[in-house]
Amino acid sequence: NRLAEISAEISSMGLSLRGVIEGNIGAGKSSVVNIFNKISGVEAIQESVKIWEELGILKDFYGDPKKFALLFQSVAFATRLASTSSSMITDDSSRVIISERSVWADRYCFAENLAEDGTMTEKEIKIYQIWHRILINGHLDKTVPDVIIYLRASPETCKRRQEIRARKSEDQIPLEYFQKLHSKHEEWLLKDDEWNPIAIGIPSHELSLTASG
Ligand code: TTP
């Protein structure tokens, strides 16, 4: 209710707000976006995981990360741009837009981690970064959110939640991968004052996810 009131207030003042929900795999981002989706006047943008699964590219990536990392990261980035483009190109005021993840998490958490652990070659990460720069060029102000809600959960909790939801394309993801992504989120969002997220601690016992995640 409080969220609904705040959203209504923002719109009634003729203001717009771009919010992003960030956090590790399994942190519960889609559940939070779903809550926003039920609030009238809020445009909630879900991530395109269904498309990644339909294309088979998420399964390919986990099956052979070295071979498919650049391709998967490119698809993830392209589909995110496609799903958020209307909010990026219109200058409408009175809009509250909440999206799951951002082009920044794709790059600073996932792509950088894949480069650092050697899954992507130096050439591949350079190519990814060039695409990233070119495609967001001119939209920079629209891709930087007004507010970031960071769902801060331990890697162990995220792994348990990911196992419970049992998405078909995700095999066994090792705890180490959750730990690396956790560090990447912490480094990116909490190490300096640039992003200033609202960090929400997710308790380890909060395991109310259903199999559909
Ligand atoms: P998430 O974006 O973390 O979505 P989720 O449904 O796991 O999140 P939550 O449980 O919090 O709602 O990741 C979806 C899958 O895509 C996951 O296997 C990680 C993978 N992924 C990448 O490998 N690279 C990327 O850049 C992104 C955005 C996701």
Provide DSSP, 131-154. HHHHHHTT-HHHHS-SEEEEEE--
Q: Is the pLDDT of residue 8 over 90?
A: no
Question: CB of 129 within 8 A of CB of 106?
Answer: no
Tell me what pLDDT residue 65 has. Answer: 96
Query: Could you tell me the CA-to-CA distances from 133 to 77, 129, 151 in Å, in that order?
Result: 12, 6, 27
Mean pLDDT, all residues of the chain: 87
The model's pTM is 0.90
Q: How many CB atoms lie within 10 A of CB 128?
A: 23
Q: Is the pLDDT of residue 72 over 80?
A: yes
pLDDT digits (tens, 9 = 90+) for 78-88: 999 888 766 65
Residue among 20, 31, 49 to mutate when testing ligand 1 (max atoms within 8 A of CB): 49
pLDDT digits (tens, 9 = 90+) for 181-208: 999 999 999 988 888 898 989 887 655 5
For β-strands 17-23 and 96-100, DSSP reports them as parallel
73 lines ligand 1 (CB under 6 A): yes
Question: If you take atom 3 of ligand 1, which residue's CA is the nearest one?
Answer: 25
Which positions are catalytic?
Answer: 100
